[in-house]
Chains A and B, each alone.
Chain A
Amino acid sequence: MGKRFHRLVLVALCTIPLASTLFAAQTPKSGGILNATLIESPPSFSLHEEATISTAWPMMSCYNNLVLFDPLKKQESLDTIIPELAEKWTLQDGGRSLVFFLRKDVKWHDGQPFTSKDVKHTFDTVREAPGITTKLRVNPRQLWYENVESIETPDALTVAFRLKRPQQSLLLMLAAGWSAIYPAHIPVSELRSKCVGTGPFKLKEYRQGELIEMVKNPDYFVKGRPYLDGIRYTIIKDRSTRYAALQAGRQDIPFIWEVARMPAEAAKRAVPKLNLIESSTNVNDHILVNLTKPMFKDPKMRLAITLAVDRQGYVQAGRQGAAILGGVLLPKPYGVWGLPEAEQKKIPGFGDPAKQKIEARKLLAELGYGPSKPLKITVSTRAIPIYVDIAGFIIDQFRQVGIEATLEQVETGVWHAKMTRREFDVAVNTTGIGPDDPDANLYENFKCNSPRNYSAYCSEEMDRLIEQQSQVLEREKRLRLVNEIDKRLQLEGARMLLGWSKEYVVLWPYVKNVVPHQSIYNYGRMQEVWLDK
């Protein structure tokens, strides 16, 4: 007993310093400048007028939302939403009113007080409410707020979103990195070249094409935050230079949408102490067929096209293993709403490639195409290496079933205009979804008349189902309905999903609390990030 006791005391004595060291290592330290990376100058600083990560990533640190996805939790969902400018919120009127109660200790970077008027101004501008005079130059997310009937401000610290019908997803969209609150006292046009937010960092210097330097906001309403004294976003265009800068320690973290697996792994091999984090981007790769063209209206033709493509082959050859198979919504383990693996495997195109190719040839023969009269199509894609790689793989798959496809590389600047005008036969495309949420995805990409519904797929029944799932408040019931929609959209060839790309973030181990989410657009606040140096 005595010996055992002594041993226990010895173990305890040895453990206490070890535990305290571990604890100390995990206690955030204040100070230091984070050297972050961008690949281009943001087209503008105006979050509500842009859809590029080059704006979202640096500008998120300047602003706040009403609510935000917890930056420290990898998977975003309703359960991970935390308060920001809103202290709390409630659903009222059977889900038709979303009421936010705001913090009272918040100031804009220029010293003006933050009130409910700012919230109303922001979302009335974005949804282009009747009578609003402020106009955004480009308004990429107006559709998100289609269900908002009005925004009321009973007092300076309360905002009520009155909805046309219940919509659980509105809260998720408000938690996305894009949903920053703008100051009502500053014209939107001025926010294109400066940022006046309430966020943890203020803009210190912007050298176009070179760097964006942010400095700690000393009046930030969250006491003790941010930990960092500042962030320097250096703009480095060349990928090799970006990795060299990371390896040399000039940069602490890479551009978060670096994606490519091989250079990330090469950097890790060169400097083994770098951390390599595999994550998701919430970006899917897919084939679009132009449904305004008569030949693609036949479901047999669409089925033949989707059966021709080996999805596992796409993961290996098109994405060098850096993707997972999935349908319309991001699958597990990254996503919340995707089809279960067993269901996804039953979708045409995700089965045995050899058998599917035989079936595709048979279908093409039934449509009158064969070796003597091959189907000739053009496959369009953006003139960006990863797009071209995938399109090259698809063209080879088509060739194996007797489809003669020609590659058309379209310059990025012209790409969306061409897609919107439907000047293509078949296209290989990628789509990034803001929050992992059915409304954010389905309304934008599959509803009739949505400008981003490039294939021109239109089904009244599907529109009804999309509306229906949006109103279901019970999670399991909604998931079942969303899965059903996912299956149908794939079976009808609205978009032929290939898979979801993965990203590879390489960063120095002393950078703490940078936790990649399943969507790249939502974790740039940097409030919790600290340097263990």
Chain B
Amino acid sequence: MLVYILQRLLTALVTLFGMSVLIFVLLRLVPGDIVDIIFASAGFVNPAAKVELARELGVDRPIAVQYIRWLKDVAKGDLGKSYRYDVPAWQIVKPRIPVTLELAVLAILIAVVSGVFTGVVSAARQDSALDYALRLLSLAGLSMPSFWLGMVIILFLVSWTGWIPALVYVSPREDLRAHLLQFIFPALAVGYRGSALIMRITRSSMLEVLREDYIRTARAKGQRERPVVFSHALRNAMLPVITVIGFEFAFMIGGLVVTETVFNVPGVARYLVDAILWRDYPVAQNLVMLIAVAVVLVNLMVDLLYGYLDPRIRYGSG
């Protein structure tokens, strides 16, 4: 098991290094630079002042030098200074991390709980009216982009109730009810799509497992249906579902970008788009790196969970 974990950790480190190079280079391949953008506000570019500003920001140095400096700074825990706002990048990023994390965890919880549950029910009641209804619901979830669903929720709320959730972050200590109301709707918008995918994978995986001999044996031995489905079948059916959860987490970050904007939730994902548009390299590259680390960690956890759920995997790799 230890070798298996070490192998996965090494793979994660190599992936992160590759990501860092890719993020750094890709950001700088986008046309235009921060100095042009700072001057854009004035409506003109003053060549002499531009050179001076580029030197001040350090973007006049060769890319390789900038990259090494970034790695060194990150290693020291220094994320640099936002070019646009002239304040430490960490000062901008820090308050946003818990917001996005909470939203992501809520969304994934909604996706997993409702997706797995409806998937199991749908498989257990195959070809019934309930199965058809749940499949239709999941198809709708897959067809609706989360930002669109978010807009529909907002418009529905304002049209029918004349109310919308708070537009400025409300901490749970300040007002728990307002906090939950602020997060539940975006989490639903993002989680619904994820639940649809998880539901479909759970259903097909469950259908496969429910036809296995050991399930038939359990039933023949007089086991009641609920323990057969939830204790015997579900654990073995979960392997592909866990893969999808890991995959869905990465995909969800994309959904959060727009959903955070629609619900005006001050998270990392929303800010990332702005940082890229402004070529605010210190903020953008550190945020993308942060997301990359999160995705790699989740995938690492999925791999480890795989090993736990199916011992053949760790033995095979070991």
Q: Which of A51, A234, A241 contacts B41 (CB 8 A)?
A: A51
Residues of A within 8 A of B36 (CB): 413-414, 416-417
Please indicate the chain B residues that have their CB under 8 angstroms from the CB of A52 in the complex. 41
How far apart are A193's CB and chain B's nearest CB, in angstroms?
A: 6
- Known contacts A51-B42, A247-B158: A413-B37 contact under CB 8 Å: yes
Which one of B2-10, B163-171, B209-217, B284-292 contacts A? Answer: B163-171
Using known A-B contacts A138-B49, A414-B36, determine if residue A452 contacts B154 with beta carbons closer than 8 Å: no
Residues on the A chain within 8 Å of B157, using CB = 244, 248
Taking A247-B162, A413-B36, A416-B36 as contacts, is the C-beta distance between A43 and B167 under 8 angstroms?
A: no
Q: Does A329 sit at the interface, judged by CB under 8 A?
A: no
Q: How far is the CB of A141 from chain B (nearest CB, A)?
A: 8
Identify which of A236, A240, A250, A414 contacts B32 (C-beta below 8 A): A414
Q: State whether B158 touches A238 (Cβ < 8 A).
A: no
Q: Contact: B41 with A413, CB < 8 Å?
A: no
Whether A134 is near chain B, meaning CB under 8 Å from some CB there, is no
From A193, A236, A414, A420, B44 is in contact (CB under 8 Å) with A420
State the majority secondary structure of interface residues on B.
loop
Any B CB within 8 A of the CB of A31: no
CB-CB under 8 A from B95, the residues of chain A are 207
Query: A188 CB to closest chain B CB, in angstroms?
Result: 11
Residues of B within 8 A of A248 (CB): 157-158, 162-164
Interface residues of B in 181-238 (CB under 8 A from A): none
Question: Does B249 sit at the interface, judged by CB under 8 A?
Answer: no
The answer to whether A137 touches B53 (Cβ under 8 A) is yes
- The answer to whether A415 and B40 touch across the interface, beta carbons within 8 angstroms, is yes
A139: Cβ under 8 A from any B Cβ: yes
Contacts of B264 in A (CB 8 A): 234-238, 241, 245
Are A452 and B87 in contact, CB atoms less than 8 angstroms apart?
no
A192 at the B interface (CB under 8 A): yes
A270 interfacial by beta-carbon distance below 8 Å: yes
Is A113 part of the binding interface, using a Cβ–Cβ cutoff of 8 Å? no
Provided the pairs A238-B264, A249-B162, A420-B44 are in contact, do residues A41 and B278 lie with their beta carbons within 8 angstroms? no
A413 — which chain B residues lie within 8 A by C-beta? 32, 36-37, 40, 277-279
CA distance A414 to B34 in the complex (A): 9
Which residues of chain A are near B39, meaning CB under 8 Å?
138, 416-417
Min distance, Cβ B98 to any Cβ of chain A, angstroms = 14
Residue of B nearest to A211 (CB): B168
Q: How far is the CB of B96 from chain A (nearest CB, A)?
A: 8
Who on chain A is nearest to B42 by CB? A140
The answer to whether the Cβ of A208 comes within 8 Å of any Cβ in the partner chain is yes
Residue in A closest to B277 when the chains form the complex, CB atoms: A413
Q: Which of B86, B87, B159, B261 has the most CB of A within 10 A?
A: B86
B317 CB within 8 Å of chain A: no
Point out the residues of chain A lying under 8 angstroms from B155, CB to CB. Answer: 240, 244
Q: Which listed residue, B37, B43, B154, B169, touches A51 by the CB 8 Å rule?
A: B43
Residues of B within 8 A of A44 (CB): 85-86
Please tell me if B263 contacts chain A, counting CB pairs below 8 Å. Answer: yes
A209 at the interface (CB under 8 A from B): yes
For the complex formed, measure the closest distance between the CB of B103 and the CB atoms of chain A, giving whole angstroms. 15
Cβ-based interface call for A278 (8 A): no
**B262 at the binding interface (Cβ < 8 Å):** yes
* CB-nearest residue of chain B to A421: B45
Interface string of A196-228 (1 = CB under 8 A from B): 000000000001111100000000000000000
Asked whether A140 lies within 8 Å of B43 as measured between CB atoms, the reply is: yes
Determine the chain B residues whose CB is within 8 A of the CB of A414 once the complex forms.
31-32, 36, 40
Cα A431 to Cα B168 in complex, Å, equals 32
**Do residues A236 and B167 form an inter-chain contact, with CB atoms below 8 A?**
yes
| Interface hub of A50, A138, A414 (most chain B Cβ within 10 A) | A138
Residues facing B in A438-458 (CB within 8 A) are: 451-452
State which residues 262-289 of B face A: CB under 8 Å.
Answer: 262-264, 266, 270-271, 274, 277-279
Q: Which residue on A lies nearest to B278, using beta carbons?
A: A413
B84 on the A face (CB < 8 A): yes
Residues on the B chain within 8 Å of A193, using CB: 85-87
B92 part of interface (Cβ distance < 8 Å)? yes
Residues of B within 8 A of A50 (CB): 41-42
| A411 in the interface (beta carbon within 8 A) | yes
Report the nearest A residue to B34, measured CB to CB: A413
Does residue A406 face the partner (Cβ distance < 8 Å to B)? no
Q: Which residues of B contact A459 (CB under 8 A)?
A: none
Minimum Cβ distance to chain A for residue B237 (Å): 39
Query: When chains A and B are docked, how far (Å) is the Cα of A207 from the Cα of B166?
Result: 15
Please determine whether A416 and B262 come into contact, CB atoms closer than 8 angstroms. no
Nearest B residue (CB) for A453: B44
Task: Tell me which of A208, A235, A236 contacts B85 (CB under 8 A).
Answer: A208
CA–CA, A67 and B92, complex, Å: 36
B151 within 8 Å of A (CB atoms): yes
A412 in the interface, Cβ–Cβ < 8 Å? yes
Residues in B with CB closer than 8 Å to A43 are 38, 41, 84-85
CB of B46 within 8 A of chain A? yes
Which residue from B84, B164, B169 sits with its C-beta under 8 Å from A245?
B164
In the complex where A50-B41, A236-B167, A247-B158 touch, is A241 in contact with B85 (Cβ < 8 A)? no
**Closest beta carbon of chain A to B38's beta carbon, Å:** 6
Judge whether B40 and A412 touch: CB under 8 Å. Answer: yes
Assembled-state Cα–Cα distance A52/B278 (Å): 14
Contacts of A451 in B (CB 8 A): 43-46
A411-B38 contact in complex given A43-B85, A208-B92, A240-B155, C-beta closer than 8 Å: no
- B167–A245 touching, CB < 8 Å: yes
Residue of A nearest to B50 (CB): A417
Residues of B near A210 (CB, < 8 A) are: 168-169, 266
Q: How far is the CB of B57 from chain A (nearest CB, A)?
A: 10
A238 touches B31 (CB 8 A): no
Q: How far is the CA of A452 from the CA of B41 in the complex (A)?
A: 12
A240 touches B151 (CB 8 A): yes
* A40 to B, closest residue via Cβ: B274
- Cβ B45 vs Cβ A417 within 8 A: yes
Distance to closest chain A CB from B265 (angstroms) = 10
6 pairs of A and B residues whose beta carbons are closest in the complex: A451-B44, A414-B32, A140-B42, A417-B36, A413-B37, A244-B158
5 other A-B residue contacts (CB within 8 Å) besides A51-B42, A240-B154, A416-B44 = A50-B42, A207-B95, A210-B169, A241-B263, A245-B164
* A-B contacts, 21 listed (Cβ < 8 Å): A43-B84, A44-B85, A50-B41, A51-B41, A137-B38, A138-B38, A138-B42, A139-B49, A207-B169, A209-B96, A210-B169, A238-B261, A240-B155, A241-B164, A244-B157, A244-B158, A270-B159, A414-B36, A415-B40, A417-B36, A452-B43
* Residues of chain A having any CB pair with chain B under 8 Å: 40-41, 43-44, 50-52, 137-140, 189, 192-193, 207-211, 232, 234-238, 240-241, 244-245, 247-251, 270, 411-417, 420-421, 431, 451-452
